[in-house]
Amino acid sequence: MRTGVLGLVLAVCLVVGSFAALEPIRFGAALPLTGWGSDTGHLNYRGYVIWQEMVNEQGGILGRPVELVIYDDQSDPTLTARLYEKLITQDEVDGLLAPWSDDMTMPATTVAEKYRKPIVTGGATLDLIWERGYKYVCGLLPSSYDYVGVAIRLLASLGIQSGAIINCDLTFTQGFGDAAVRNFEELGIALTDRETYAAGTQNFVPLLLRIKATNPEALIVCAGLEDGVEILKQCKEVGLNAKAYYFTVSPTEPEFVNLLGSDAEYVFGTSEWEPSLVHLPGFQEFRDRYVAKYGEEPAEDVATAFGLAQVLQRAIEAAGVLDDERINEILHHMHTVTVFGTYKVDPETGRQIGKELYVIQIQDGQRKIVWPPEFAISEVWFPTPAWEAR
């Protein structure tokens, strides 16, 4: 579903009778349904909708149906802030669901903290989120440092000794780039070059040629889907050959392989969730419902939103009442496993400390977990052949 509408209210309870007549518990969010973040925003949207449908079919929360109030923030952090103000002060929602990306999460969490309204962040990993001393913010995902670090540590174990980093100047991609530098320093990997480009860039040839001249063994690309696809295409055009390519975000999106075809092979990425993780509680029901509704396998960003909503639901159920202070206390001390994986935060900062991370690699057109060993479904392909040898 694509829409340019600013406000979108979902009130599909999927039930009849006295239950449907009860006053709903309302959850609000702003998502990038248009603009540069719209691909992921729509996946988050789907995750929230599937959760709403399943919860209402199972009797709601505290015996009441669930209603969603979702606005389009148009990928504009300033608008995100205004919409979360509206959700709290005008719509008077009972609970806040997360926006997407560090860029939109930073202002949204500032608003939540101002009104002492608990929020669990979803697609956000920026370390700064947890360094502000906020008391009403918890995170579903590990930090940027761990997100890129899990893959860089694997590359180091394969013998990688040098690398270059590319990142967009958006908040979330800049954060990934900074985290990659920290991991390089700690692992003794030589940084041959770091290039930062402006959002909206389409011609990456000049910066790729500069990187090529430094002959890095690994290329770390901190970008979203569209940029990631273009950067890899242009790596091939300029003959930039690395032993390993690591991309944030992009490889977890199905469109990455669809758009690149065989050129996506060998690319590493970090995933918090994959459809092969069938051991997670409720996985099969979630997966079957999603496939029946949308005709495709759920992606990580769908599971992120669904799991985030599950966390908030369980906190409310544990509280037994819609009391923000009580719910916030539970969120800071709760340890639970959702369709998305483990939720456990540092009770002082709200930073996620329990979530599993997986290194994936594109092999034969599919995302395959290659680390950690207990979840791996394939061996690592390394090194990456030169473009002309593929």
The tens digit of pLDDT for each residue in 301-325 reads 999 999 999 999 999 999 999 999 9
Structural domains of the chain, ranges and CATH numbers in brackets:
7-142+276-344 (3.40.50.2300), 145-271+358-389 (3.40.50.2300)
**How far is residue 61's CA from residue 96's CA, in Å, rounded to a whole number?**
15
User: How confident is the model at residue 276, as a pLDDT?
Assistant: 84
Q: For residue 127, what pLDDT is reported?
A: 87
pLDDT digits (tens, 9 = 90+) for 24-82: 999 999 999 999 999 899 999 999 999 999 999 999 999 999 999 999 999 999 999 99
Q: If you ran DSSP here, which 8-state letter would residue 23 be given?
A: P
| Backbone phi and psi for residue 244, each to the nearest 5 degrees, phi listed first | -150, 140
Q: What angle do CA 295, 299, 305 make, to 5 degrees?
A: 110
* Whether 77 contacts 31, CB under 8 Å: no
Size of the chain, expressed as the number of residues it contains: 390
**R_g of the chain, CA atoms, integer Å:** 21
pLDDT band at 328 (very low <50, low <70, confident <90, very high): very high
Give me the percent of the chain exceeding a pLDDT of 90: 89
Per-residue pLDDT at 85 exceeds 50: yes
pLDDT score of 20 more than 90: no
CB atoms within 10 A of CB 182: 15
Say how many C-beta atoms besides its own lie within 10 A of residue 39's C-beta.
Answer: 17
Strand blocks (E) in the chain: 7-10, 25-31, 66-72, 95-96, 119-121, 137-139, 162-168, 190-197, 218-222, 244-247, 268-271, 335-338, 341-344, 358-363, 366-371
Q: What is the pTM of this model?
A: 0.84
Over the stretch 150-187, which tens digit does the pLDDT of each residue have?
Answer: 999 999 999 999 999 999 999 999 999 999 999 999 99
d(CA 164, CA 221): 9
217-236 confidence digits (pLDDT tens): 999 999 999 999 999 999 99
pLDDT on residue 4: 36
Candidate from 21-25, 83-87, 217-221, 379-383 with smallest mean pLDDT: 21-25
